[in-house]
Structure 1
């Protein structure tokens, strides 16, 4: 596989994520009922000196997926800022891999929210993450669709 492989069926380009994620690469969304999956293609620029995806890049994908999943779960009536993120690395990703963050919403309260995800490449689990997020006012439409 290369980073130029086609996007799997059912995924649509996600026009959000801010300048930081725009620098990492294009994000894609697949939503099936309450199931939210945020994905991206691992590129050569995401690798460390061993030729595998840098852990920081995988953590960034998980953190972003959790925030987007929480925002979608409340239909955009709130936004979220990471308070705590715990990650466990279980396997490696390589250039060309299609990395999917499968989001699980545990609870959205008035002040904090809890969510988790697993990053997959096919049947292989790369990372599991759980986070605590501060509940914030919603982002403005211009912030959400700024082209990133």
Structure 2
């Protein structure tokens, strides 16, 4: 089992993901788990919440959770199409349901709705355990695949 910056364990089945670009890299390490089979909840992107993610109330900042959901949706779409395309956010809708706190393991359970030639649609729930803390819906422009150099740099 690997650990993150907080030295808390990463749950079994998750592997370090070197994607998300410089912005997400500054927020912390991302992890991925791909469940067997097709359908809902096949792709899960996750990270550990720490003190740098909090607002003045000591809970995860809403903008940080929105960033996580946006990145998880885009990464999920890229994994879904096996890297044949990349994606740029056209619209992101978020609803904050509950809070995340330092030490929480937050999982983005991604559900791909449709991948077309020009547009893609996906939803996700951010969860701490079984507790849903955010729901998000995104519309993305379908772009050319990233180059090997971009992928190596973590984009």
For residues 147 and 110 of structure 1, do their structure 2 counterparts lie closer, same or farther at Cα, with a shift above 3 Å needed? closer
**Structure 1 counterpart of 2:21:** 18
Residue among 63, 66, 71 paired with 1:64: 71
Where do 5+ consecutive residues of structure 2 fail to align? none
Where do 5+ consecutive residues of structure 1 fail to align? none
Shift of 1:3: 3.5
Shift of 1:141: 1.6
**Structure 2 counterpart of 1:113:** 120
Contact 2:20 2:154 in 1 (8 A): no
Higher relative contact order, chain-length normalized (CA < 8 Å, sep 6+): 1
Contact 1:27 1:38 in 2 (8 A): yes
For residues 92 and 3 of structure 1, do their structure 2 counterparts lie closer, same or farther at Cα, with a shift above 3 Å needed? farther
- The count of corresponding residues between Structure 1 and Structure 2 is 147
Shift of 1:147: 4.9
Give the TM-score taking structure 2 as reference length.
0.92
Give the TM-score taking structure 1 as reference length.
0.96
**Structure 2 counterpart of 1:91:** 98
Q: Are residues 1:36 and 2:43 paired?
A: yes
Question: Structure 1: which 4+ aligned runs deviate by more than 6 Å?
Answer: none
Q: Are residues 1:129 and 2:132 paired?
A: no
Contact 1:84 1:131 in 2 (8 A): yes
Three-state SS of the structure 2 residue aligned to 1:114 is strand
Q: Encode CA deviations 1:51-100: one digit per residue, 9 max, x unaligned.
A: 00000010011000000110111111111000000000000000000000
CA distance in 1, matches of 2:63, 2:112: 22
